[in-house]
Structure 1
Amino acid sequence: LFYFKNKQTSKPCPDLKSSAEVTQRITFHKKEMDEKDSKEYTRSEQEINENIQHLFNKLHLEGKMRAADVLQLTAHSLKSHKSCPVEELIQTFIQKLLMMDYKARNIKANQLIHTKDTKDSHEFQADADIFREMGGPGDADNTSDPVHPMDVQMAVFHCADGFLKQLMVTKLSQCQYALPLLVPDPFTQQTEFPLLTFRQISKSWKMRNKNNEIISQTQPIYKAQTPMVFFFRFGSVSSSKSQLMNSLINERHNTFFHRNCPGSSRTRVLMDGVVEIAWFCPSGKDTDKFTDCVAFCNLHGDAGDHEKQLQILTEMASVNVVLLLGLQKNDRSMMKLDELYKGSKPLICTFIEDVSSLSKTRNGKYKIGLKCRNQSDVSEELRRAINDCLSESYSTFRLEDVSKHSDIRVDEEDDDDCRRGREAAQQMMCLLEKKDLTEIKDSFLPHQGKLWHQWSQKNKELHRPRAYETEEDISRKQKEMTKIREQQYESDISEFIKLFIKEVNSHNECEKMFFLKWLRILLDEYWSTRISKELQAATFGVEHIMREIGQIYESCSSVKKNKKDLQFPFSSLPSFAAEMMISGFPLELMDGDAAHVPVIWISAVLDQLVQKLGDQRVFVLSVLGTQSSGKSTMLNAMFGLQFAVSAGRCTRGAFMQLVRVSDEMKTQMNFDFILVVDTEGLRSLELAGKSTRDHDNELATFVVGLANLTLINIFGESPSEMQDILQIVVQAFLRMKKVRLNPSCVFVHQNVSDVTAGEKNMEGRRRLQKTLDEMTKLAAEEEDYDAGCFSDVILFDVQNDVKYFAQLWEGSPPMAPPNPKYCENIQELKGIIILSVRNLKSPLSRVSTRRLPEI
């Protein structure tokens, strides 16, 4: 039994009595005996609740859904589903959405084909009677409406906790889908504005200025000020409003779900009154339908039944567009329409039963007929009218301003844990406002500055002794390192870090996660509005804060005593980092600035994981590839993660994140977790000369040695680009051979033009094998090791260990959705990885006590 939780009290929602606010009126005609008159019936709140309850029961939804529940490896997630039993619709939708597969809304429930009883199957076709067998009405018992795809989406949305909602909306945005903006509670009809779900979404677009120069912009979408076009309808209309909107935004993609989409059904339970929003982002080309970023809002259902949503959006819109059958003076909806027509804002009326083309009735007021007209012509006229209106309208829309309306509930204000977490994060941000941008890192993060870099360099020299070095030289370096640690220990802990440590130790688990989420959001917003490319080195996020805490821990461990200004025992710091990892946050594994692994800190964190989780069996999966080759995107799609994705190299180093294996899979795999390691790009343009090669070799050697399986990500098919990365990769595997570690690898070729071209792929595999063998000979000479081909270094099958991926986008960004073929490739690769897991597994303690120090 599904209990819908009341969001304010977290208690089961009691039976609700009839209320004028939540009663929905529907009319239908019913024949009774000799009576021919039609009667109007009111569908009571109880009937509405029963339909919603029936839907939730049908979908097997029970209680709240947490992000942790869906971000785990399950048997279901390893299969590709085009249809499924109705009780699996929820997990199938979530699985595909996490992979950024926009076909997530096209999944159909399995349905049986009903056949009428016939005579012997061997009867002659000549005896068939089309009038008898096909002419009669269908059997009502054999017809039932399937679950509407948008009911599946909104059922997940209503049952999700705050973290899962945010993840879900972020993935919907990546699929270029419209996002829920105003959502009525299905039982109380209280309208909610889920502002928190938009906080991690940014949009990029290009536009031309007055000098015809292309300007690129990237903004958090809740802050962006753009024009907004609001679509709504009065009454029941035969034309699809959502389909008309799609033709304006992206005619090749169903941004808004409509009645003609695959899987659509006649009835829907949860969409009436929902307002969705999507953005058109121009590319700076002459073919752009709109020259600026434009928001489009869509009110589902009859606007006359949802006056609150109608009032809010018509007030905030730059242009209002209404669909209706015709004008009827006695209709109560016409009063609102008359008010809009007399107002100053542009209004476009589209009449279903009118055949006329676009006409302008007065300044800012337009009329378009839809009857018997070509949709592309209507779309072009509507686009022209909207552009004319926008050129004369100076009003803009900002998503964040929706929260100013007092009669709606805002999710981040309504949740006490969320509100307290935000207040704590804002308190920390106040400290940043008082500092100069270039001084923030030095003053707030002193432990990871010059002293840490000096210690890292000395440590590398210590572990790479030259032939002429004596024991005395080594002893001198050790003393220098000890002195550096003592100086690091003497550094004061900044007020910023003190406050951070205090906050993470004074909140409950949920408040703590909201605090971290808010701190990340506010830091991203702070730097995105203030920093230039020249100051990218000055940026810092939560990962830099955790790096500072790691260095505080290492310096205290070195001198074996607590800092005087540290209010908590330093030994408690790894415990918090372990809790972060268990909750799904990535943790920096390798400091990209110092190109060094803080082994003492990382080992302590992993030891805490062992204490909290037990000595779990862990499969380590890492990825290597050139800069901006899609490594993080691949891991995010494969496991539903949220590693930072950037076209530049803002964050450096390596990060690790735990992926839980479901209980059912543990029995099959004898396995508990996957430790996913994401890395910065090789061959960075920001490093030059010998330092580039040394840095990349260190990174590759580390992540290859740590992992059971490494994904070697190659972007495109250029032989020269492949040779660069392959030389680094082969040398790393050769070093593992020398220290008797036996990791394996899979090569992933991304952005291949035709992944189905068999002959082309055979040639590509042959060329890859040849290059690997050549690189092995070169690396063997450098490492003074006897190896003539790549197979002498690791077990490698060029037929099975090389995968070709389709390009990520289906079309040209910024409006292109992810390519479904790319998602299929991700699913296939995921299956290959799991096959590797069956033979390769290591206890968590082995990662902590053996492999990290060994590397």
Structure 2
Amino acid sequence: MVPYPQPYPTYLTTEVMIFLFLSSERRQALQNVLSKLGMEEHRSQKLRLKDVLQISPENAKSWTPESLGDLPWHFLRKIMALNGMARNTSLDYMAPDYQQRSEDKEELNTDDSISCLSDANAMNPLDVLCAVLLCSDSFLQQEILSKMSMCQFALPLLLPALDTPKCTLMLWAMRDIVKKWRPHSLAESRGFREESLVLTKMPTISFVRLGSCSFSKSKLLNDVLSPSQQHHDFFIHRDMDSGHVLRNVSDGLVEISWYFPGRRGNLDLFLEPVAVINLHGDIEPHWLKFGFLTNVSCSVFIFVESVSEKNYLLLSALKESATKYYFIFNIPTGISSETQTFCDKLISELKLNKSQLLVKDSSQNKAKFVKKLQNLLGCIMKSSPKKINIEDMAVIARELGIQVDEDCKACQTGSKWAREIAAEIKDTGKYKKAMFRLQGDPWKKLAKVEKELCQMRRQGGIPSEKYRSQLKAELSELRAQQNKCDLTDGMTPGHSPSLSFVS
């Protein structure tokens, strides 16, 4: 593993103090967010999948959140239904009860109406996502990320250190995701390739920023990954609903999205799959995560708006890294003399060539800049031999001291059960017939009788009540046969001799 770039010495002298301060501040911010969302009890007693899938009159209603406490459940219900608006955290301030209260008063209190519309009563969608994942057990996390993938949302790769001393790589949470795509090599035969997402090796390109930036990096990435005239918001950005609200606990969240080819001819943006990683926040306070990205990526794009001496000292540490860096300079009002001076030093220090420097100014056409960036990514993918999957990333994360969710006891036990069961499967058809005895022929016969009981198509000259009684008797006989079947080892792994470790 290539050692990740170390910050300059002045950071090391105050590292412990900064860590203690940030840890205390982070814990307080988390407490405030969970309190507003009404999720404090689930910090220790995690939400489970069955809690979300419970059927109740509330689940059947189509409702919009009216308070911050509604946001987690709004997200969970919408994402389980594969609703593309699941990440929307806008509150319905003009709910019926609110309207009724307004009508009962001759004048609406101005202070109250303004406070309702202020950012104090809003929450960034990324904060809601982080809070929900923190309060969910590992299996619910897996289901959430699987549904988010189906909605083509960017997935959390590194969850910020909220309840843990280190950030967490979400490997187990992505285990259930399978992707299907058509590589360029199979375009003529119209074949497809299907593989588990965490096992698929592909070029990985990361995007980060240093300092503040007047335009949205995430929004630009959405444009880069979206086909022409088919815009999709993979990453949450500041121009989305509540996307401008200050991030309280999700600053430093690392998200990952993918592009998989599946069209024909020149309609694909890229000919092969590519992973795009986006670090939310400044790299300066998230140097460990940035170091992780330099190790897993074939190229890293750094967005900068100005370069001070402090920034120069930080970026000059990258000269020891083998990763290729690209700089996107955003210059809305022209470049300052200080920025120009340190940029020249940086170009010399890192031995950057012209292709590694991109300038974005206010006069530049947005579509042309996006096309230029797409072409550059295509060239990087062709020229770089480095390909990596999520499992490989987990190895690097452990070496850097980053936690991996799959290392917890519950995930390890579940993974062991799955491996034990899979080892027994030689022929899928025969295994299903032997282990799932209530399915197959018994289930077909039962379904056929139930269907006839509803349709009564084969009644003939038999009186209706007599025919119905015959069908019910046949139905009862089939149910009795099913009840005689004991649970097989495949249905009860804890009772299987090969899985005796459970007891």
The reply on whether 1:174 has 2:156 as its aligned counterpart is no
Give the corresponding residue for 2:316. Answer: 338
Give the corresponding residue for 2:362. Answer: 371
Per-residue CA deviations over 1:691-748 (Å, capped at 9, x if unaligned) read xxxxxxxx4x733654xxxxxxxxxxxxxxxxxxxxxxxxx44x5455xxxxxxxxxx
Distance (Å, rounded) in 2 between the aligned partners of 1:214 and 1:362: 40
Instruction: Letter of the 2:172 partner, please give it.
Output: L
Give the corresponding residue for 2:36. Answer: 58
Greater Cα offset, 366-375 or 54-63: 366-375
Q: Is the 8 A contact 2:449 2:475 kept in 1?
A: no
SS at match of 1:222: helix
The reply on whether 1:419 has 2:412 as its aligned counterpart is yes
Alignment of 1:714-753 (within 5 A): 732-733=451-452, 736=454, 738=456
Give the corresponding residue for 2:231. Answer: 252
Give the corresponding residue for 1:156. Answer: 132
The reply on whether 1:269 has 2:269 as its aligned counterpart is no
Q: Is the 8 A contact 2:123 2:245 kept in 1?
A: no
- RMSD over aligned CA atoms reads 3.8
Alignment of 1:485-524 (within 5 A): none
Which of these residues, 45, 64, 87, is aligned with residue 82 of structure 1?
A: 64
Following TM superposition, by how much is the alpha carbon of 1:264 offset from its aligned partner in structure 2, in angstroms? 2.5
Following TM superposition, by how much is the alpha carbon of 1:205 offset from its aligned partner in structure 2, in angstroms? 1.2
Which of these residues, 48, 67, 86, is aligned with residue 49 of structure 2?
A: 67
Give the corresponding residue for 2:118. Answer: 143
Q: Is the 8 A contact 2:331 2:359 kept in 1?
A: no
Give the corresponding residue for 2:330. Answer: 352
Give the corresponding residue for 1:401. Answer: 392
TM-score by length of 1: 0.45
User: Cα 1:354–1:342, aligned 2, differ >3 Å: closer, same or farther?
Assistant: farther
Instruction: Letter of the 1:98 partner, please give it.
Output: M
Give the corresponding residue for 2:491. Answer: none
Following TM superposition, by how much is the alpha carbon of 1:296 offset from its aligned partner in structure 2, in angstroms? 0.6
Percent sequence identity over aligned pairs? 23
Give the corresponding residue for 1:293. Answer: 273
Alignment of 1:310-329 (within 5 A): 310-328=290-308
Distance (Å, rounded) in 2 between the aligned partners of 1:91 and 1:853: 41
Instruction: Letter of the 2:460 partner, please give it.
Output: D
Which of these residues, 548, 553, 556, is aligned with residue 434 of structure 2?
A: 548
Structure (1 or 2) with the greater strand fraction:
1
Alignment of 1:379-394 (within 5 A): 379-394=370-385
Instruction: Letter of the 2:202 partner, please give it.
Output: T
User: Cα 1:425–1:51, aligned 2, differ >3 Å: closer, same or farther?
Assistant: closer
Following TM superposition, by how much is the alpha carbon of 1:80 offset from its aligned partner in structure 2, in angstroms? 1.0
Instruction: Letter of the 2:54 partner, please give it.
Output: Q
User: Cα 1:363–1:545, aligned 2, differ >3 Å: closer, same or farther?
Assistant: farther
Which of these residues, 204, 225, 241, is aligned with residue 217 of structure 2?
A: 241
SS at match of 1:348: strand
Q: Is the 8 A contact 2:446 2:475 kept in 1?
A: no
Instruction: Letter of the 1:20 partner, please give it.
Output: M
Give the corresponding residue for 1:649. Answer: none
Give the corresponding residue for 1:437. Answer: none
User: Cα 1:177–1:412, aligned 2, differ >3 Å: closer, same or farther?
Assistant: same
Distance (Å, rounded) in 2 between the aligned partners of 1:344 and 1:210: 33
TM-score by length of 2: 0.74
Q: Is the 8 A contact 2:329 2:357 kept in 1?
A: no
Alignment of 1:811-822 (within 5 A): none
SS at match of 2:176: coil
Which of these residues, 436, 439, 448, is aligned with residue 590 of structure 1?
A: 439
Instruction: Letter of the 1:169 partner, please give it.
Output: L
User: Cα 1:196–1:140, aligned 2, differ >3 Å: closer, same or farther?
Assistant: closer
User: Cα 1:342–1:139, aligned 2, differ >3 Å: closer, same or farther?
Assistant: same
Distance (Å, rounded) in 2 between the aligned partners of 1:313 and 1:401: 12
Following TM superposition, by how much is the alpha carbon of 1:51 offset from its aligned partner in structure 2, in angstroms? 2.4
Distance (Å, rounded) in 1 between the aligned partners of 2:406 and 2:56: 31
Instruction: Letter of the 1:233 partner, please give it.
Output: R
Larger relative contact order (Cα-Cα within 8 Å, sequence gap ≥ 6): 2
Following TM superposition, by how much is the alpha carbon of 1:87 offset from its aligned partner in structure 2, in angstroms? 1.6
Instruction: Letter of the 1:143 partner, please give it.
Output: S
Following TM superposition, by how much is the alpha carbon of 1:426 offset from its aligned partner in structure 2, in angstroms? 3.6
SS at match of 1:22: helix
The reply on whether 1:204 has 2:180 as its aligned counterpart is yes
User: Cα 1:311–1:785, aligned 2, differ >3 Å: closer, same or farther?
Assistant: farther
Structure (1 or 2) with the greater helix fraction:
2
Q: How many residues align?
A: 424
Distance (Å, rounded) in 2 between the aligned partners of 1:275 and 1:363: 28
Distance (Å, rounded) in 2 between the aligned partners of 1:235 and 1:67: 39
